[in-house]
C-alpha cells in the first residue's frame, strides 16, 4: 500500500469562494466548499493536518471553522471530534473570520489537508505514520464570487 | 442442491456515487436492474446516518429495497482502529464499535456483516454472543495480500473452532486468488508513461516473490518513473498475484464462509476477468458444497463502464456456474 493515497479531482470546489455578509450587511469573512476526495466518509478526528494559506499568508487556525452536519466547528478542535462524521458526499464549508472579507478578484488558495485512513495501518517502517495517509490538499487561483 | 445467490456490492458504483451521478437509491435500483438478487452496502460510504440508523432512515431504506424488489443481505462495516489521533482503540472500544455495527446492520435488515481484520481474534471471540443474539453472521474479510491459509486468518479460524462459533466466519474476497497483474492498473501506468520493460520486471518479480526492496532498487536503477513505481507498490500490496493461488486454503475454509466478495477490476466482452481465475474459484467453491452468496465487487473505479462491467461480472459467474 502506498504510504499516501491521493484520489483524482478537486478538493476546493470551483466557484465556491465567496465573502460572508452578516444580516446587518457587513462583510465578516469569506469561505469556500471543500470536497472529501475519497471513497468513504471519515470522522473529523482523522484529520492530521489542516493549513490554509491565502495569497501566500497562513491563516491563524483559530479563525477558521469547518462547517459540516449543520455546525461550524473550530479547526483547532478537529482532532478531538471523534464522533463527528464527514460524509463523502457532503461538502464542508470552510469559513474564515475576517472583517472586510477578501478584496474582489482573484486570490491564491493553498490548502494542506492530510487525513489518516484509520483502518489501513502503515506497514512501511521508514515513515512514522501509524496509518496510510490520504492527501486531500488542493491549491489554485480562485475568484471571489457574489456573496449569497 | 441449493444454488449460489449472486448479488452486488453497491461499492461497485463508487465512482458514480461520489461524483453525485448516483444517489443511494440509484445504486439500489441499478443493482436490481442489472440482475442482482441481493446487495451489500458499505456503511461508511453510503449510510447517511452512519454509524447509526434513525427510525426514519430505516423505513425509507426498507421502502427502497421493497420498491426495487431487492434485499440488503450484508452490511459492510469498517474497523476504524486508528480514529483517535494519539492511540489505537482498545479492545473494549473495538467491541463496542462492532456491537453498534451489529445494531445498524440489524435495523437495515441484513443477516450478515463484513468485519475488517483490524478487529483481532480476541474481539471476535467476545463478539460471538452478540452476533448470535442479533442473528447476524459476522465474517472477517480475507483480502489481498492475505489468503485463507495465511497465519493472520488461521488465527481467527482457531478461535472459531475453540468456541464452536456458529455466527462467526470469513468474507472471502476473490482478489486473494489473483493469478495475474491487474489490467486497469497496468493500463493506467502505461498511459502515464511507465515503460513496458519496468512493468515486465515488476510483474515477473512479483510472480517470483523477489523481496520488495530488491525490486524497488532494481526499478530505480532502470530509471522507472512514478507511474511504474506506483503499479509496482500496488502489486506488492492489495493487488498481489501468484502462479499458485491458495485454492486448497479456500476449499478448507468453505464451512466457515459467511459470504464472498466477487472482486473484479475488468471484465472483457467475452466475459473474462484477466487477473482473477473465476472458473477455478467457482469450481472449488461448488465442489466443496458452497451454496451461499457472492456479491460482485467492482474495484476498477477508474476503468469506466462500471455498470456494464458489473452486469458482465454477474453474467460471467452465471455462465461459469451453469457449466459446472
Mean of all residue pLDDT scores within chain A: 94
Report residue B1's pLDDT band, with 50, 70 and 90 as the boundaries: low
- Kindly report, residue by residue over B52-80, the tens digit of the pLDDT: 999 999 999 999 999 999 999 999 999 99
Query: What is the C-alpha to C-alpha distance for residues A51 and A59, in angstroms, rounded to an integer?
Result: 8
SS3 A69: coil
* Rg (chain A; Cα; Å): 16
The reply to whether A118 falls in a domain is yes
Per-residue cell: B152: 493472520
Return the percentage of chain A with pLDDT > 70, whole number: 98
ipTM above 0.85 for this complex: yes
The reply to whether A146 falls in a domain is no
Nearest Cβ partner of B83 from A2, A8, A43? A43
- Kindly report, residue by residue over B185-214, the tens digit of the pLDDT: 899 899 999 999 999 999 999 999 899 889
Least confident range of B35-39, B89-93, B242-246? B242-246
Give the residue on A whose Cα is nearest the Cα of B240.
A1
Least confident range of A120-134, B62-76, B218-232? A120-134
Beta strands B257-264 and B168-173 are: parallel
Nearest to B146 by CA among B121, B123, B175: B175
Query: Is B118 within 8 Å of A130 when comparing Cβ atoms?
Result: no
pLDDT at residue A123, as a whole number:
78
Contact B112, B259 (CB under 8 A): yes
pLDDT at residue A2, as a whole number:
58
Domain that holds residue A125: 4-138
Give the residue on A whose Cα is nearest the Cα of B94.
A119
pLDDT at residue B238, as a whole number:
77
Nearest Cβ partner of A119 from B20, B78, B85? B78
Q: Could you confirm whether domain B5-179+242-298+309-323 is CATH 3.40.190.10?
A: no
Give the residue on A whose Cα is nearest the Cα of B22.
A89
- Chain A contacts of B233, Cβ < 8 Å? 1-2
The reply to whether A69 falls in a domain is yes
Contact A95, A22 (CB under 8 A): no
- Kindly report, residue by residue over A18-40, the tens digit of the pLDDT: 999 999 999 999 999 999 999 99
- Kindly report, residue by residue over B94-140, the tens digit of the pLDDT: 999 999 999 999 999 999 999 999 999 999 999 999 999 999 999 99
Query: What is the C-alpha to C-alpha distance for residues A142 and B286, in angstroms, rounded to an integer?
Result: 58
DSSP B217-242: HHHHHHT--HHHHHHHHHHTTTT---
Return the percentage of chain B with pLDDT > 90, whole number: 90
Q: Does residue B316 have a pLDDT over 70?
A: yes
SS3 B103: helix
The reply to whether A148 falls in a domain is no
The reply to whether A143 falls in a domain is no
Number of domains in chain A: 1
Helix (H) or strand (E) holding B173: strand B168-173
- Positive or negative, the Cα torsion across B251, B256, B262, B263? negative
Nearest to B262 by CA among B5, B8, B4: B8
Contact B253, B157 (CB under 8 A): yes
Q: Does residue B145 have a pLDDT over 90?
A: no
pLDDT at residue A147, as a whole number:
74
The reply to whether A126 falls in a domain is yes
- Positive or negative, the Cα torsion across B207, B212, B213, B216? positive
Structural domain boundaries in chain B:
5-179+242-298+309-323, 183-235
Peptide bond into B2 cis (omega under 30): no
Question: Cell 450484508 identifies what position?
Answer: B74
Amino acid at each position: 500500500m502506498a504510504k499516501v493515497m491521493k484520489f483524482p479531482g478537486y478538493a476546493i470546489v470551483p466557484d465556491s469562494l465567496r465573502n460572508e455578509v452578516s444580516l446587518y450587511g457587513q462583510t465578516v469573512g469569506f469561505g469556500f466548499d471543500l470536497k472529501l476526495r475519497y471513497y468513504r466518509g471519515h470522522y473529523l478526528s482523522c484529520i492530521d493536518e489542516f493549513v490554509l494559506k491565502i495569497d501566500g499568508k497562513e491563516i491563524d487556525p483559530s479563525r477558521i471553522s469547518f462547517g459540516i452536519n449543520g455546525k461550524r466547528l473550530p479547526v483547532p478542535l478537529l482532532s478531538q471530534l471523534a464522533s463527528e462524521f464527514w460524509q463523502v458526499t457532503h461538502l464542508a464549508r470552510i469559513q474564515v473570520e475576517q472583517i472586510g472579507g477578501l478584496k474582489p478578484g482573484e486570490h491564491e488558495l493553498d490548502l494542506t489537508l492530510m487525513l489518516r485512513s484509520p483502518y489501513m495501518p502503515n506497514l512501511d517502517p521508514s515513515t512514522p505514520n501509524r496509518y496510510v495517509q490520504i492527501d486531500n490538499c488542493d491549491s489554485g487561483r480562485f475568484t471571489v464570487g457574489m456573496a449569497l | 442442491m441449493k444454488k449460489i445467490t449472486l448479488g452486488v456490492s453497491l461499492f461497485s458504483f463508487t465512482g458514480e456515487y461520489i461524483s453525485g451521478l448516483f444517489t443511494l437509491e440509484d445504486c439500489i435500483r441499478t443493482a436490481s436492474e442489472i440482475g442482482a438478487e441481493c446487495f451489500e452496502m458499505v456503511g461508511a460510504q453510503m449510510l447517511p446516518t452512519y454509524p447509526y440508523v434513525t427510525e426514519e432512515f430505516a423505513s425509507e431504506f426498507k421502502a427502497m429495497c421493497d420498491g426495487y424488489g431487492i434485499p440488503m443481505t450484508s452490511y459492510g462495516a469498517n474497523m476504524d482502529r486508528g480514529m483517535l489521533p494519539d492511540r489505537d482503540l482498545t479492545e473494549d472500544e473495538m467491541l463496542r464499535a462492532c456491537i453498534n455495527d451489529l445494531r445498524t446492520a440489524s435495523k437495515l435488515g441484513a443477516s450478515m456483516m463484513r468485519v475488517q481484520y483490524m478487529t483481532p481474534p480476541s474481539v471476535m471471540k467476545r463478539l460471538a454472543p452478540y452476533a448470535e443474539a442479533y442473528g447476524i453472521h459476522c465474517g472477517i474479510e480475507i483480502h489481498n495480500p492475505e489468503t485463507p491459509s495465511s497465519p493472520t486468518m488461521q488465527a481467527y479460524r482457531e478461535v472459531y473452532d475453540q468456541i464452536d462459533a456458529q455466527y462467526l466466519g470469513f468474507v472471502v474476497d476473490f482478489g486473494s486468488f489473483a493469478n495475474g497483474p491487474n489490467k486497469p492498473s497496468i493500463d493506467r501506468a502505461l498511459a502515464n508513461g511507465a515503460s513496458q520493460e519496468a512493468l515486465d520486471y515488476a510483474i515477473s518479480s512479483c510472480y517470483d516473490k523477489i523481496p520488495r526492496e530488491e525490486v524497488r532498487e532494481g526499478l530505480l536503477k532502470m530509471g522507472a518513473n512514478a507511474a511504474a513505481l506506483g503499479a509496482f507498490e500496488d502489486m506488492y500490496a492489495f493487488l498481489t498475484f501468484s502462479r499458485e493461488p491458495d485454492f486448497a486454503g479456500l476449499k478448507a475454509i468453505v464451512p466457515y464462509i459467511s459470504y464472498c466478495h466477487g472482486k473484479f477490476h475488468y471484465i472483457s466482452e467475452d466475459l473474462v476477468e484477466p487477473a482473477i481465475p473465476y472458473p477455478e474459484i467457482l469450481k472449488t467453491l461448488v465442489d466443496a458444497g458452497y451454496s451461499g452468496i457472492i456479491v460482485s465487487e467492482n474495484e476498477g473505479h477508474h476503468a469506466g463502464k462500471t455498470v456494464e462491467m458489473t452486469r458482465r461480472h454477474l453474467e460471467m459467474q452465471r455462465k461459469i456456474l451453469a457449466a459446472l
